[in-house]
Protein backbone atom coordinates (compact mmCIF):
# COMPACT_ATOMS: atom_id res chain seq x y z
CA UNK A 1 0.00 0.00 0.00
CA UNK A 2 1.31 3.43 -0.93
CA UNK A 3 0.02 6.70 0.46
CA UNK A 4 1.07 10.22 -0.55
CA UNK A 5 1.25 11.29 3.08
CA UNK A 6 2.53 8.17 4.83
CA UNK A 7 4.70 6.80 2.04
CA UNK A 8 5.27 3.06 1.94
CA UNK A 9 3.20 1.50 4.73
CA UNK A 10 5.21 -0.74 7.01
CA UNK A 11 2.79 -1.72 9.75
CA UNK A 12 -0.49 -1.08 11.52
CA UNK A 13 -1.19 -1.70 15.19
CA UNK A 14 -4.34 -1.40 17.24
CA UNK A 15 -4.50 -1.62 21.03
CA UNK A 16 -8.06 -2.59 21.97
CA UNK A 17 -8.73 -1.34 25.51
CA UNK A 18 -12.46 -0.81 26.22
CA UNK A 19 -12.04 -1.54 29.94
CA UNK A 20 -15.43 -3.21 30.32
CA UNK A 21 -14.41 -6.77 31.14
CA UNK A 22 -13.47 -6.85 34.82
CA UNK A 23 -15.25 -8.68 37.63
CA UNK A 24 -18.44 -10.67 38.03
CA UNK A 25 -20.59 -7.90 36.52
CA UNK A 26 -18.60 -7.65 33.28
CA UNK A 27 -20.84 -6.90 30.28
CA UNK A 28 -24.07 -7.58 32.22
CA UNK A 29 -25.52 -4.06 32.04
CA UNK A 30 -25.24 -3.74 28.28
CA UNK A 31 -24.67 -7.12 26.60
CA UNK A 32 -24.97 -9.93 29.18
CA UNK A 33 -24.73 -12.69 26.57
CA UNK A 34 -21.04 -11.78 26.24
CA UNK A 35 -20.40 -13.79 29.41
CA UNK A 36 -21.65 -17.04 27.82
CA UNK A 37 -19.93 -16.82 24.44
CA UNK A 38 -17.33 -19.57 24.11
CA UNK A 39 -15.70 -17.61 21.30
CA UNK A 40 -15.74 -14.02 22.48
CA UNK A 41 -12.89 -11.58 21.87
CA UNK A 42 -12.20 -12.53 18.26
CA UNK A 43 -15.69 -13.65 17.20
CA UNK A 44 -17.60 -10.73 18.73
CA UNK A 45 -15.10 -7.87 18.66
CA UNK A 46 -12.02 -8.74 16.64
CA UNK A 47 -14.03 -9.63 13.54
CA UNK A 48 -14.72 -5.91 12.99
CA UNK A 49 -11.02 -5.14 13.11
CA UNK A 50 -10.26 -7.94 10.66
CA UNK A 51 -12.66 -6.21 8.29
CA UNK A 52 -11.09 -2.80 8.90
CA UNK A 53 -7.53 -4.09 8.51
CA UNK A 54 -8.46 -5.66 5.16
CA UNK A 55 -9.99 -2.35 4.05
CA UNK A 56 -6.82 -0.47 4.98
CA UNK A 57 -4.08 -2.90 3.92
CA UNK A 58 -5.65 -5.41 1.55
CA UNK A 59 -5.94 -9.16 1.76
CA UNK A 60 -4.63 -11.16 4.70
CA UNK A 61 -2.54 -14.22 3.85
CA UNK A 62 -1.62 -15.54 7.29
CA UNK A 63 -2.20 -15.13 11.03
CA UNK A 64 -0.54 -16.00 14.32
CA UNK A 65 -2.61 -15.76 17.51
CA UNK A 66 -2.13 -16.19 21.24
CA UNK A 67 -5.47 -15.87 23.07
CA UNK A 68 -6.25 -16.04 26.80
CA UNK A 69 -9.06 -15.62 29.30
CA UNK A 70 -8.31 -13.30 32.23
CA UNK A 71 -11.78 -12.93 33.75
CA UNK A 72 -12.86 -16.32 35.20
CA UNK A 73 -16.51 -15.21 35.17
CA UNK A 74 -16.84 -15.50 31.39
CA UNK A 75 -16.69 -18.45 29.02
CA UNK A 76 -14.55 -17.17 26.15
CA UNK A 77 -11.26 -15.41 25.60
CA UNK A 78 -11.00 -11.74 26.58
CA UNK A 79 -7.40 -10.90 25.74
CA UNK A 80 -4.98 -11.81 23.01
CA UNK A 81 -2.28 -10.86 20.56
CA UNK A 82 -2.80 -11.47 16.85
CA UNK A 83 -0.31 -10.85 14.06
CA UNK A 84 -1.66 -10.46 10.52
CA UNK A 85 0.48 -10.89 7.41
CA UNK A 86 -0.81 -9.25 4.22
CA UNK A 87 -0.27 -10.21 0.59
CA UNK A 88 1.19 -6.74 0.04
CA UNK A 89 3.95 -7.36 2.60
CA UNK A 90 2.64 -5.21 5.44
CA UNK A 91 1.99 -6.55 8.89
CA UNK A 92 -0.65 -5.64 11.49
CA UNK A 93 -0.78 -6.23 15.22
CA UNK A 94 -4.05 -6.53 17.11
CA UNK A 95 -3.19 -6.23 20.81
CA UNK A 96 -6.46 -6.70 22.66
CA UNK A 97 -7.43 -6.70 26.32
CA UNK A 98 -11.06 -6.03 27.26
CA UNK A 99 -10.24 -5.64 30.97
CA UNK A 100 -7.91 -2.64 30.56
CA UNK A 101 -8.99 0.86 29.53
CA UNK A 102 -7.22 3.68 27.68
CA UNK A 103 -7.18 7.50 27.95
CA UNK A 104 -10.60 8.58 26.68
CA UNK A 105 -13.74 10.41 27.72
CA UNK A 106 -15.70 7.45 26.35
CA UNK A 107 -13.66 4.26 25.91
CA UNK A 108 -16.21 2.91 23.42
CA UNK A 109 -15.68 5.84 21.02
CA UNK A 110 -12.60 4.32 19.39
CA UNK A 111 -12.31 1.19 21.61
CA UNK A 112 -8.57 1.81 21.77
CA UNK A 113 -5.64 3.42 19.99
CA UNK A 114 -4.28 2.87 16.49
CA UNK A 115 -0.99 3.61 14.78
CA UNK A 116 -0.08 3.26 11.11
CA UNK A 117 3.64 3.59 10.38
CA UNK A 118 5.04 4.43 6.97
CA UNK A 119 8.31 5.45 5.38
CA UNK A 120 7.40 9.16 5.36
CA UNK A 121 4.99 9.63 8.28
CA UNK A 122 3.20 7.95 11.16
CA UNK A 123 -0.54 8.31 11.78
CA UNK A 124 -1.98 7.92 15.27
CA UNK A 125 -5.61 7.70 16.43
CA UNK A 126 -6.24 8.32 20.14
CA UNK A 127 -9.17 7.54 22.43
CA UNK A 128 -10.74 10.95 21.92
CA UNK A 129 -11.11 10.37 18.18
CA UNK A 130 -8.22 12.69 17.38
CA UNK A 131 -5.85 11.89 14.52
CA UNK A 132 -2.21 12.93 14.65
CA UNK A 133 0.43 12.88 11.91
CA UNK A 134 4.16 12.88 12.52
CA UNK A 135 6.48 13.19 9.54
CA UNK A 136 9.77 11.30 9.72
CA UNK A 137 12.09 13.07 12.21
CA UNK A 138 9.48 15.81 12.80
CA UNK A 139 7.08 16.82 15.57
CA UNK A 140 3.55 15.43 15.70
CA UNK A 141 0.69 17.65 14.50
CA UNK A 142 -3.06 17.12 14.83
CA UNK A 143 -4.98 16.40 11.64
CA UNK A 144 -8.22 18.37 11.54
CA UNK A 145 -11.35 16.63 10.28
CA UNK A 146 -15.08 16.85 10.90
CA UNK A 147 -16.96 14.22 12.84
CA UNK A 148 -19.98 14.20 15.12
CA UNK A 149 -19.88 12.96 18.70
CA UNK A 150 -23.25 11.27 18.70
CA UNK A 151 -24.63 7.75 18.77
CA UNK A 152 -22.19 4.87 18.95
CA UNK A 153 -18.72 5.71 17.59
CA UNK A 154 -19.84 8.90 15.84
CA UNK A 155 -23.11 7.32 14.72
CA UNK A 156 -21.23 4.84 12.54
CA UNK A 157 -23.97 2.21 12.83
CA UNK A 158 -26.60 4.68 11.63
CA UNK A 159 -24.33 5.78 8.75
CA UNK A 160 -23.85 2.16 7.66
CA UNK A 161 -27.55 1.35 7.75
CA UNK A 162 -28.41 4.61 5.99
CA UNK A 163 -25.94 3.81 3.20
CA UNK A 164 -27.32 0.31 2.72
CA UNK A 165 -30.91 1.56 2.52
CA UNK A 166 -29.93 4.29 0.04
CA UNK A 167 -28.24 1.69 -2.18
CA UNK A 168 -31.25 -0.62 -1.93
CA UNK A 169 -33.71 2.15 -2.87
CA UNK A 170 -31.52 3.35 -5.73
CA UNK A 171 -30.83 -0.15 -7.02
CA UNK A 172 -27.07 0.33 -6.59
CA UNK A 173 -24.62 -2.31 -5.43
CA UNK A 174 -22.90 -1.61 -2.14
CA UNK A 175 -19.29 -2.63 -1.43
CA UNK A 176 -20.54 -4.17 1.82
CA UNK A 177 -21.65 -7.52 0.47
CA UNK A 178 -22.16 -10.70 2.48
CA UNK A 179 -19.91 -12.64 0.10
CA UNK A 180 -17.05 -10.25 0.87
CA UNK A 181 -17.63 -10.58 4.60
CA UNK A 182 -17.36 -14.37 4.45
CA UNK A 183 -13.63 -13.94 3.96
CA UNK A 184 -13.46 -12.35 7.42
CA UNK A 185 -14.96 -15.51 8.88
CA UNK A 186 -12.31 -17.67 7.20
CA UNK A 187 -9.64 -15.48 8.78
CA UNK A 188 -11.40 -15.65 12.16
CA UNK A 189 -11.35 -19.44 11.97
CA UNK A 190 -7.65 -19.31 11.14
CA UNK A 191 -7.04 -17.22 14.26
CA UNK A 192 -8.70 -19.79 16.51
CA UNK A 193 -6.79 -22.62 14.82
CA UNK A 194 -3.54 -20.69 15.27
CA UNK A 195 -4.21 -20.27 18.96
CA UNK A 196 -5.07 -23.95 19.33
CA UNK A 197 -1.96 -25.17 17.52
CA UNK A 198 0.31 -22.28 18.58
CA UNK A 199 1.43 -21.97 14.97
CA UNK A 200 1.10 -19.58 12.06
CA UNK A 201 -1.91 -20.39 9.89
CA UNK A 202 -2.18 -19.63 6.19
CA UNK A 203 -5.51 -18.07 5.30
User: Residue 85's CB: how many other CB atoms inside 10 A?
Assistant: 17
Helix (H, G, I), strand (E, B) or coil at 6: coil
Which residues are 133's β-sheet partners? 123, 141
CB 62 within 8 A of CB 202: yes
Render pLDDT for 160-170 as a digit per residue (tens, 0 to 9).
Answer: 888 889 998 99
**What does the buried/exposed string (b/e) look like for 86-113 if buried means 16 or more CB atoms within 10 Å of the residue's CB?**
beeebbbbbbbbbbbbbebeebebbbbb
Render pLDDT for 104-155 as a digit per residue (tens, 0 to 9).
Answer: 999 999 999 999 999 999 999 999 999 999 999 999 999 999 887 777 777 8
pLDDT at 161: 87
User: What average pLDDT does range 185-191 have in this prediction?
Assistant: 98
Name the pTM for this structure. Answer: 0.91
Query: For residue 199, what are the CA distances in angstroms to 44, 66, 78, 90?
Result: 22, 9, 20, 19
Kind and range of the H or E run holding 131: strand 131-135
pLDDT at 132: 98
Answer CATH for 2-148+183-198 from 3.40.50.12160, 3.20.20.10, 3.90.550.10, 3.30.360.10? 3.30.360.10
Give yes or no for residue 78 having a pLDDT over 70. Answer: yes
**HSE on the CB side for 106, CA within 13 Å?**
11
Domain ranges for the chain, please list them. Answer: 2-148+183-198
Q: What percent of the chain has pLDDT over 90?
A: 80
Residue 9 binned pLDDT confidence (cut-offs 50, 70, 90): very high
Integer Cα distance of 175 and 84 in angstroms? 23
pLDDT at 178: 82
3-state SS of 137-166? CCCEEEECCCCCCCCCCCCHHHHHHHHHHH
- Minimum mean pLDDT among 62-66, 180-184, 192-196: which range? 180-184
CB 2 within 8 A of CB 8: yes
Q: If we measure between CA atoms, which residue out of 17, 53, 8 comes closest to residue 126?
A: 17
Render pLDDT for 41-69 as a digit per residue (tens, 0 to 9).
Answer: 999 999 999 999 999 999 999 999 999 99
User: What average pLDDT does range 164-185 have in this prediction?
Assistant: 87
Give yes or no for residue 2 having a pLDDT over 60. Answer: no
pLDDT at 3: 62
Amino acid sequence: MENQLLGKIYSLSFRLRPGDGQGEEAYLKRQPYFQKMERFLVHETGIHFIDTFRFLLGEIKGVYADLRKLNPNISGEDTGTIIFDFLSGERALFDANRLVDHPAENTRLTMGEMMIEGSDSTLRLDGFGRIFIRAHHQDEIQHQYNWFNRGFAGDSVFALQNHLIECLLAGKETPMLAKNYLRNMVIEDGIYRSNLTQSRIEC
